[in-house]
Chains A and B, each alone.
Chain A
Amino acid sequence: MSEPVYRYLGARGALRRAMVGGVLAAAVLALVPAVVSPFQLLFAAEMLIQCLFALAFNLLFGITGLLSFGQAAYFGVGGYLAALALVHGWTGILGVLLLSTVGAALAGLVLGYCCVRLNEIYFAMLTLAFGQMHYAGARQWADVTGGSDGILRVPRPPLRLLGLTLPLDTGLAFYVLVATVVLLTTLFLWGVATSPFGLMLRAIREKPERAEFVGIPVHHYRLAAFVLSAACAGLAGALVVLLGHTATPEMLFWTKSAEPVIMSLLGGAKVFLGPALGVLVYAWLKEWLSSRLVDYWMLVMGLIVIGCGLFFRGGICGALAVWWSARLAQRMSYVSTRDPQPDQIVRPDDSR
């Protein structure tokens, strides 16, 4: 699969793109409450949070080239921190979100420091070990985490901002909060991915040895990406706890870590919004299949996932990009008659 060429757009170009994309996305997100029922709105909020989690994961995977198999650890740390803070009487919702983000970032800093020196499969295994360690901790440190039941009945206090108090009990109000947070974080991640820093991460993904050789401190950059990814995952975890009013150990189990991996691969890990597309397509497919084939939707889903692994290596976005560039090339071949076609080029070797 060919990745679209990422240019460093310059501060102004990047800002313009971010603003255009942000306004478009905000318009789409604002239309959602108008077309769906209140119950579906909560479902939409959950999808958005999943998108954020997948995008955070993909900063490590698609952009930096590190397959983390333990992102659920940071998702869960964020979730549990939020739940604990709210249960123990915190009322500032923005403070709680900040606490979760910072807490997950700190966990990412400490654990990432150990992980980033390893490559490929060893990196994946170490992140898996750390993730399971968190899971075991949440399961067994029952005095604090509530054991295998988790923390239940987490309150959702109203949002206090600029002297206003906005209750969040309705689906619509909560959806607006989630959509705003997810949109802003996604724009931030997009800024990271297209900044010079993001280009460095891509260089590291393509060939760590070469990046090291030209003087990029590979481990530092990887650690920075790890911390950012963990922070955003923690934020997503906090939002999930606010949504469901519970924090359970399943948030930290390895199957939770597998989700963003599958979604990113399904949507296309090398395109920035690919993982989000993967989340939406997976959710839609699951819904559509399970309404039709009640008992054996997993069978069909398994076949689709296998098909993706075998034939559509770039995911949906990759397949679209291939199709689009083929179409483009075809059209170009009609238009440009002045440029020599590859088979018309006479190479020096051929004349001998």
Chain B
Amino acid sequence: MMPADSLAAYVLNGLVQASCLFLVASGLTLIFGVLGILNFAHAALFMLAAYLAAQVSAWSGSFWVALLVAPPVLALVGAGLEWGLLRRVYDAPVAYQLLLTFGVILLIKDLIKLLWGTAWKTFSEPPVFSGTLVVLGRPYPLYNVAYIGCVLLIGLALWAFLHLTRTGKVVRAAAADRDMANAVGINVPLVYTGVCALGTALAAIMGVFHGPMMNIHLDVDQDYVVEAFAVVVIGGLGSVPGALLGALLVGMLDAFGILIIPRFQMAFIYMVMAAVLVFRPQGLFGMRETRV
């Protein structure tokens, strides 16, 4: 058995990974649950947010300005994406949604290349959180702990929004039955645009939060998109609590897999994903044939 302090470090690392995955996956699952579209460009949008945040923090010299600017801008991009493209393929087969979002990935990547070039970008965490925290006698970056806490708050806020507010109820109604929601006077297209904006903003928040911990480059989306899909599938397509559970599971597998079976740590996540699909295709939290 390993000592408690290194165990705590592994748990914290797993939680950081889970937080990052939850922010990407919750937006992805929300968009799938309501719009019925699997947005392959979701991670490209997160990458765009990370680049934007790096630029803004380079200009302003402050992480907080980047956090204030990037998510609203990306929410606008998401709304534009829904309004301009996605709403035209709601009834199309999955393959066309894939084709369309693949085209969006190409657009975003080249746009980034035009604006920022191919060099790696970095930006640093706010000075308030740049210290370390002592966890069981071992120093741990304060920023990571703050990150986990913030994501927890965001998750709670998302749950409260969906279940305690009138707007959240409208969103769930539009997800459950589009035609019926339309018939009782809900402006369904507006809800769809709003949800796409919200989901994209969540990915943007992840881009800003995770930015200081990684090198931002042009292929950074590829590593996250499939893990985000794994999270969404494990939790259940369209389920936000499922995304939280899935993110925790995958984050912990990432952190501890390297201890238990270092050779197949990467494959382990996909094994779990495959096992869930084979034995419980609707996911751990999903219900058969219903969304959100």
* A interface residues, Cβ below 8 angstroms from B: 61, 67, 114, 118, 120-122, 124-126, 128-130, 132-133, 136-137, 139-141, 253-255, 258, 261-262, 265-266, 269, 295-299, 301-306, 308-310, 313
Contacts and interface: CB of A to CB of B under 8 A. Distances in A.
B95 A306 contact: no
A141 B106 CA distance: 32
Given A136-B267, A295-B114, A306 B277 contact: no
Interface residues of B, number: 42
Most buried by B among A125, A139, A305, A308: A125
B264 interface: yes
B166 interface: no
Given A126-B277, A302-B110, A309 B266 contact: no
B96 A133 contact: no
Contacts, number: 123
A299 B277 contact: no
Interface stretch (B85-93, B125-133, B193-201): B85-93
Given A121-B94, A299-B110, A302-B110, A132 B226 contact: yes
A133 B230 CA distance: 11
A93 B281 CA distance: 42
Q: Main SS of chain A's interface residues?
A: helix
B136 to A, nearest CB: 31
Contact of B237 (A114, A121, A269, A303): A121
Contacts of B98: 67, 258, 261
Given A136-B270, A310-B88, A299 B99 contact: no
Interface of B: 38, 85, 88-89, 92-100, 102-107, 109-111, 113-114, 222, 226, 229-230, 233, 237, 263-267, 270-271, 273-274, 277-278, 281
Q: Main SS of chain B's interface residues?
A: helix
Contacts of A130: 270, 274
Contacts of B270: 129-130, 132-133, 136
Contact of A140 (B93, B97, B233, B263): B263
A122 B103 contact: no
Most buried by B among A124, A139, A266, A304: A124
Given A129-B270, A310-B88, 8 more contacts: A130-B274, A140-B264, A140-B266, A253-B222, A266-B99, A302-B107, A310-B85, A310-B100
A80 to B, nearest CB: 15
Nearest to A305: B103
Nearest to B281: A122
A236 to B, nearest CB: 20
A128 B226 contact: yes
8 contacts: A67-B95, A118-B281, A126-B278, A261-B98, A305-B103, A309-B96, A309-B103, A310-B100
